[in-house]
């Protein structure tokens, strides 16, 4: 059986890896439009500022492909699928290639919001960052044009990580975010406010509620900054857009597979066409597009079995898990992070919060009917392992949970009154020494109920 995978990003490569571990015989071939072996996109910002070079990004070296008997053809774009005859056409080549099973792992491209002059100026002062070539182009532009001021449009994870690396390259950097908070898809308003302060302390400027309307050009058509809808103007010589992704679905569309925003798949990662599967950033499953590595890894395991006819595991979606990768900032957001948004409090939802503004610490746990649904953990690492281990599980005994986020219930040994850190704004340990219980008992008559 010949299995062809289109795309050598993490979804394509992990599909090949999982297929090979399940079956030593099948023929596995990967076609990849980019000219580089599989590399991690996470560290692309560090290629711009020369902290890393291309080799540092490559994950599997040549011998991995040999050992696993996986053939890879780089710099080959698949142009067309002939689904009736199960053949593929490579751009610039006349001879089609036959497949028995086909996996589309075509990934995604950066989304460019409707900003005047943005598309026209791409590569000429306006850039997006998705691949190695983009990073090299950005670096060249900065060097050749003596760039001193940068704007990053998009205050999501990628925007902030990019801004930090650009700032480290000694560029005066401003992050411009459409929403009223940074990381709008990972944080609530309070935690977003704390993060903004920390980002500004790194020397990065932040503009919120900022809908970029236009890239401003001078009389020689050279970038001079941006104009925000409310009239603000910010000067810069380079504009980097990190404003979400768009799944790459052209190949699927040409073959008339079912698509919407992404390539539509079922729980076995099958597309609407028999023997064609899809994985990674390019897919849409139950109206959802993930765009994160954990989803690619989950899906690649299922598609491997599915192709080989073992339909024992079904894809059920991936719980979003994001960590901000900026040294010195510990921030993880997992699953549901803001049920207030959904007006669901009281319908079984419970929120436990431990906020310490002095030490920039924000721990928020979200439960629904005692099941751990999500968390924001900012300024601390200890609870991350607990949340990862227990996400989507029923918390039968909440002592471990309370300990993980340092949020306790205290009981008065004189009258039995309970003081719950989660329900009152001031933590019990921060109450003044002369604080007294309703029964008149002093503070030291209270005992920690959760540590017994």
Ligand X SMILES: Cc1cc2nc3c(=O)[nH]c(=O)nc-3n(C[C@H](O)[C@H](O)[C@H](O)COP(=O)(O)OP(=O)(O)OC[C@H]3O[C@@H](n4cnc5c(N)ncnc54)[C@H](O)[C@@H]3O)c2cc1C
Nearer to ligand X among residue 81 and residue 404 (C-beta): 81
The footprint of ligand X on residues 313-342 (CB under 6 A) is: 325
34 binds ligand X (CB under 6 A): yes
Nearer to ligand X among residue 12 and residue 339 (C-beta): 12
Shortest distance, position 325 Cβ to ligand X, whole Å = 6
384 binds ligand X (CB under 6 A): no
Shortest distance, position 91 Cβ to ligand X, whole Å = 8
33 binds ligand X (CB under 6 A): yes
* From 2, 20, 41, 139, residue interacting with ligand X (rule: CB under 6 A): 41
Q: Which stretch binds ligand X (CB under 6 A): 99-107, 231-239, 338-346, 369-377?
A: 99-107
Nearer to ligand X among residue 195 and residue 296 (C-beta): 296
Residues 6+ apart with CB under 8 A from 216: 117, 223, 224, 225, 226, 227, 233
Site string for ligand X, 271-310 (x = CB under 6 A): ---------xx---------xxxx-x--------------
Shortest distance, position 208 Cβ to ligand X, whole Å = 22
* From 49, 237, 248, 271, residue interacting with ligand X (rule: CB under 6 A): 248
Q: How many residues belong to the site for ligand X (CB under 6 A)?
A: 33
Site string for ligand X, 393-432 (x = CB under 6 A): ----------------------------------------
Nearer to ligand X among residue 70 and residue 412 (C-beta): 70
* From 78, 176, 216, 238, residue interacting with ligand X (rule: CB under 6 A): 78
158 binds ligand X (CB under 6 A): yes
Q: Which stretch binds ligand X (CB under 6 A): 41-49, 188-196, 391-399, 403-411?
A: 41-49
160 binds ligand X (CB under 6 A): no
163 binds ligand X (CB under 6 A): no
Nearer to ligand X among residue 91 and residue 197 (C-beta): 91
377 binds ligand X (CB under 6 A): no
Which residues would be at the binding site for ligand X (CB under 6 A)? Answer: 6-12, 31-34, 41-42, 44, 77-78, 105-108, 129-130, 158, 248, 251, 280-281, 291-294, 296, 325
């Amino acid at each position: 059986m010949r299995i062809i995978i289109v795309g050598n990003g993490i979804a394509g490569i992990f599909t090949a890896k999982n297929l090979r571990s399940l079956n030593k015989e099948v023929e596995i071939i990967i076609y990849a439009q980019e000219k580089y072996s599989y590399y991690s996109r996470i560290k692309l910002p560090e290629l711009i500022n020369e902290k890393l070079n291309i080799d540092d990004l490559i994950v599997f070296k040549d011998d991995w492909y040999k050992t696993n008997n996986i053939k890879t053809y780089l710099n080959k774009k698949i142009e067309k699928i002939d689904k009736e005859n199960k053949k593929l056409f490579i751009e610039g080549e006349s001879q089609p290639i036959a497949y028995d099973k086909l996996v589309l792992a075509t990934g995604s491209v950066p989304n460019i919001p409707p900003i005047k002059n943005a598309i026209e100026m791409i590569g000429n002062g306006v850039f997006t960052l998705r691949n190695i070539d983009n990073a090299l182009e950005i670096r060249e532009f900065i060097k050749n044009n003596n760039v001193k001021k940068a704007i990053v449009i998009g205050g999501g994870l990628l925007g902030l990580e990019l801004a930090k690396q650009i700032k480290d390259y000694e560029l005066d950097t401003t992050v411009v975010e459409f929403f009223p908070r940074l990381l709008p898809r990972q944080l609530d308003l309070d935690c977003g406010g704390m993060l903004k302060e920390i980002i500004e302390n790194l020397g990065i400027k932040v503009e919120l509620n900022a809908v970029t309307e236009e890239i401003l050009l001078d009389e020689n058509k050279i970038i001079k900054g941006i104009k925000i809808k409310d009239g603000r103007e910010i000067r810069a010589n380079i504009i980097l857009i990190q404003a979400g992704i768009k799944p790459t679905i052209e190949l699927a569309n040409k073959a008339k597979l079912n698509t919407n925003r992404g390539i539509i798949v079922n729980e076995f990662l099958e597309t609407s066409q028999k023997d064609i599967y899809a994985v990674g950033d390019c897919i849409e499953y139950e109206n959802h597009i993930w765009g994160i590595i954990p989803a690619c890894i989950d899906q690649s395991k299922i598609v491997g079995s599915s192709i080989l006819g073992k339909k024992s595991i079904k894809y059920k979606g991936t719980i979003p898990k994001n960590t901000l990768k900026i040294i010195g900032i510990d921030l993880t957001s997992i699953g549901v992070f803001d049920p207030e948004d959904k007006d669901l409090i009281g319908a079984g939802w419970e929120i436990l919060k431990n906020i310490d503004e002095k030490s920039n610490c924000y721990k928020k746990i979200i439960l629904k009917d005692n099941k751990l649904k999500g968390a924001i953990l900012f300024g601390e690492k200890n609870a991350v392992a607990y949340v990862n281990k227990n996400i989507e599980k029923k918390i039968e005994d909440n002592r471990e949970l309370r300990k993980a986020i340092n949020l306790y219930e205290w009981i008065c040994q004189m009258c039995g009154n309970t003081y719950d850190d989660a329900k009152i704004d001031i933590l019990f340990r921060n109450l003044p020494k002369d604080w007294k219980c309703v029964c008149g008992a002093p503070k030291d008559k209270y005992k920690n109920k959760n540590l017994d």
